[in-house]
Structure 1
Amino acid sequence: MIAKNKCRVGTRSSQLALWQTHHVIEALQAHFPETEFEVVEMSTKGDRILDQALSAIGDKGLFTRDLEEAMHSGAIDFAVHSLKDMPSVLPDGLGLTAMLKREDPRDALLAKNNVKRVEDLPAKAIVGTSSLRRKAQLLSKRPDLDVRDLRGNVQTRVRKFEEGPFDAAILAGAGLHRMAMEDYISDYLPLDHFIPAVGQGIVVVESRLDDELMLEMLAQINDKEAQTCSAAERAFMRRLEGGCQVPIGALASIEGEGLSLRGFLGRVDGSEAIIKEKQGAVAEAETLGQALAEDMLAGSGQAILNDIRKG
């Protein structure tokens, strides 16, 4: 196969982002050993604004827009992201053109004083998270908890958890695994209640749709199962117009020719949490995601979304 002589790869500069970028490059080099890959580190708006909650900034491209502008200008050939950071609608001319095999999608509990489960946290315990979804899920199970914002890269959040007033913190298990920080995990949150963010655990490549040679190269490392599951999850999110301001989650799984999708939508204060599940065919992943979203909206989901958007 014909390959590019050199590829410029855009990434955020955190240790996790760089790990994911080198993971993608290693996969590509196994197929294209003669190609040179140059890593281009960039700072995104989400990296620069750390004194506000993600939901308060209100920007759907917090962690992606700067990289996408670099792709459009030709400064980089493709960018590597955590799929859960990707908006439901991408800029014209760009697409999600390769996904790697999914890491464990579960959220992880970090807790002090040998606490092992959310149920065992002391009354009014202080829990850190940057996610409205996690806040809604925590409060729906434990309305007495004091959930506070915890921003920064993985290492920063773990340090703030250790040094600050927090009794516990919730982070994605995948990021802790990739940073070899599993020892901090007290427990994995059960998927029957703590449904993860859309795309959680998946490393994704975004590139220009008119760069046919790059598309052919990226096709060699694409994981079809991750692609199918994320298509269902992202269709669910897109129909609900979900971003960092809406507490939603979704997780798809494949069994044979069947696809199962579980979705979550809730109120930030935990007073209402909707969890629904739907099955369909692998070949109709997006249709399944849209159908599950419609089920949510047909119940109290539309009222929840209306109230969130009222502010």
Structure 2
Amino acid sequence: MQPNQLFRSLLVTIFVLIAPWVQAKPLNFETEYQTFEKQPVSLQALIGKKPIYLKFWATWCLDCRRELPSLERTYQQYNDKIAIFAVNLNINETDETIRSLQQKNKLTIPILMDNNGTIAGNFEFKGTPFHVLINNQGDVVYTTYTDDEQLADQLAKLASNSKTAATPADATVEISSVAKTSLPKGAAVMYFSATWCDWYMKDIHPELSSNCINALKIIDKLYRSTPKLQLSAYVTHLWTEQTDVNDYSKKFSLPYNVSVDKNNEQFRRFKATGYPTVIVLKDGNEIARITEFDGSEKPLQVIKAALATH
């Protein structure tokens, strides 16, 4: 089951548990972002001046790939009335893969590259594809995970400045900021991964799947061989529930605790760009970062050397 399908299987539970959507505070974007074609874009400057439609996606998200033709048709229909962007999460991406999908689907819609989650971080969502509609006043008026007739209706209303409906219950949004919890004193290791990296990526990006599995083995050896190691292990919140974390820990017999990185707050805090990532800290300052795990002992040696010499 794909992460997207897994998430949708939980929608009934989420519908019951979540509270109605509330925009807690104004949207906060960086001054400028770059499109895939290296063109500058100011989302902040558009807020309150033109309706905006943000479609969050990733090349390794199969549902996102299937929706690209529909997204392009929407762009052709409304780009003169709505500022429309395909916002790439910019996690584990390559220019080659983006270019390939861009050409295959004949995309003319601007592909906006998120910068360390500073676009996505404004919203709490469980996975992609994710759609956000913002009106002329800068208010988020509709969100959904589904490209369907209801989204089409809301886009038509947004284009005509008509009142849009309340956001559906399966797409709750809450404006968020990066957590500023205290960092451990002395030497410590931060480990970022995903519960689905090994199996979901197996066919889409087999090299990434292997990288995640190799990283798991390295961290396991590190933890078992390093007494009193300060290890903080996080898995992304995308397509992940606590039951997935429990299954993941059991599947790999993990000897350490794993936490869900809510809204990727810690991932963004350390400006990580992909899974897996291992960061060695000394009194909260980064002294080493490893993202490539080729199956050898070299990453383990690098981490241990960093821990021992600082």
Please tell me the TM-score bracket, short chain as reference.
Answer: under 0.3
Higher Cα radius of gyration: 2
TM-score by length of 2: 0.28
